[in-house]
Amino acid sequence: VAQDKITINLIDRKGKKHTVQANIDDTILDVVLDKELNFESFGVCEGTVSCSTCHVVFSEDVYSKLEEPLMDEMDMLDLACGLTETSRLGCQVYLTEEMDGMTVTLPREITDAREI
Ligand code: FES
């Protein structure tokens, strides 16, 4: 049987690590909501690609295996605070089996693109 859950680590805005079991094919935003992680202002547009508060930073090896972001994700990322080379929107990245054990980091600062 193929496994349908993986373990991922999320580092919150204060640097605290949260280790959770997550469903493959869920987005990172789904995981944060499901596990009630209550990360400050995370995902306020509920995955409609209009806030950029779900900005997360991946390690290079995981980032390099992700599918290319679509145009609306790229536009929104441009508005994100503290953008890095390995930044993505958490509501647009779906978990895969390969991501088992990965760590993603929330930037300390956020911008809500709806308020710009
Ligand atoms: Fe708003 Fe992802 S939740 S852009």
Note the pLDDT tens digit of each residue in 58-99.
999 999 999 999 999 999 999 998 899 999 999 999 999 999
Mean pLDDT of the chain: 94
How close is the Cα of 97 to the center of ligand 1, in Å? Answer: 23
ipTM: 0.99
CA distance 77 to 88: 7
State whether the beta carbon of 47 lies less than 6 angstroms from ligand 1: yes
CA distance 35 to 85: 27
pLDDT per residue as tens digits for the range 11-62: 999 999 999 999 999 999 999 999 999 999 999 999 999 999 999 999 999 9
Which atom of ligand 1 lies closest to the CA of 92? Answer: 2
How close is the Cα of 44 to the center of ligand 1, in Å? Answer: 7
Residue 2: the pLDDT is 62
Whole-model pTM: value is 0.93
